[in-house]
Structure 1
């Protein structure tokens, strides 16, 4: 990723994070509307799941680097998701729910450049996580 993309993501996430409870609930509400089957994959409350989502996003957003390296905890998270049965299609739905939630939360501040940066980061992250969950080498990096 470029330094400009990283700045856009970190700046926009700084606006979202204070609204983390609302954002997390919006994300999961949208995700379950798009694919109700996904709801059955969760054993914790949605409130708790929302907290974990925001912690994971904060870890990843803080850890964005121009060299593309992911924090080790992100790869650990990917392995767990694989054990839970998360598939490539689930990652696609999660990406759609994430972009929608960001757009709804940020409004006009979620401009085309910011959206493109988030989409780029999420596409690269989800590919890395899918590969890590499948036991492949996490060779995909968040670089351009």
Structure 2
């Protein structure tokens, strides 16, 4: 991720943050529509989960310029997700739902450059999380 992409992600997220409740509703609505089999991985009452989603997104986005500071939190999140039954293939519909949500929330502000920056960022973070979960799983097995 280059500085320009990081800036685009951070600037665009600042526009989404004020509508975080709506964004979380859009995200989970889209996710469960696209991948209904994932609904069982979540609690019935989603209010706390939605708050956690937006909090973790904010932490990740704000830490993109200093990845070493967010790496432990992102790795721990990956391990927790693994423990909840999240599989590597689940990251694809999550990413697609995130991009769709940003498109809805940002409207005309979701330019091709902003899309590219978010796709790159999500791909990087999802890859990091999958690797962290796999490493934790290997460590447990040995």
TM-score normalized with structure 2 length:
0.90
Q: Which of the two has greater helix per residue?
A: 2
Structure 1 residue ranges, 4+ long, deviating more than 2 angstroms after superposition: 67-70
Structure 1 unmatched runs, 5+ = 137-144
Tell me how many residue pairs correspond in the alignment: 135
Following superposition, the deviation at residue 47 of structure 1 comes to: 1.9
| Mapping 1:1-144, distance limit 5 Å | 1-43=1-43, 45-65=45-65, 68-69=67-68, 71=70, 72-135=72-135
Q: 1:126 to 1:41 in 2, by over 3 A?
A: same
The match for 1:142 is none
**CA distance in 1 between partners of 2:44 and 2:120 (Å):** 29
**CA distance in 1 between partners of 2:53 and 2:44 (Å):** 12
Following superposition, the deviation at residue 69 of structure 1 comes to: 3.5
The match for 1:141 is none
Q: Is contact 1:30–1:97 with CA below 8 Å preserved after alignment?
A: yes
Q: Is contact 1:25–1:47 with CA below 8 Å preserved after alignment?
A: no
Q: What is the aligned-residue RMSD (CA, Å)?
A: 1.3
Following superposition, the deviation at residue 68 of structure 1 comes to: 4.6
Q: Is contact 1:21–1:47 with CA below 8 Å preserved after alignment?
A: no
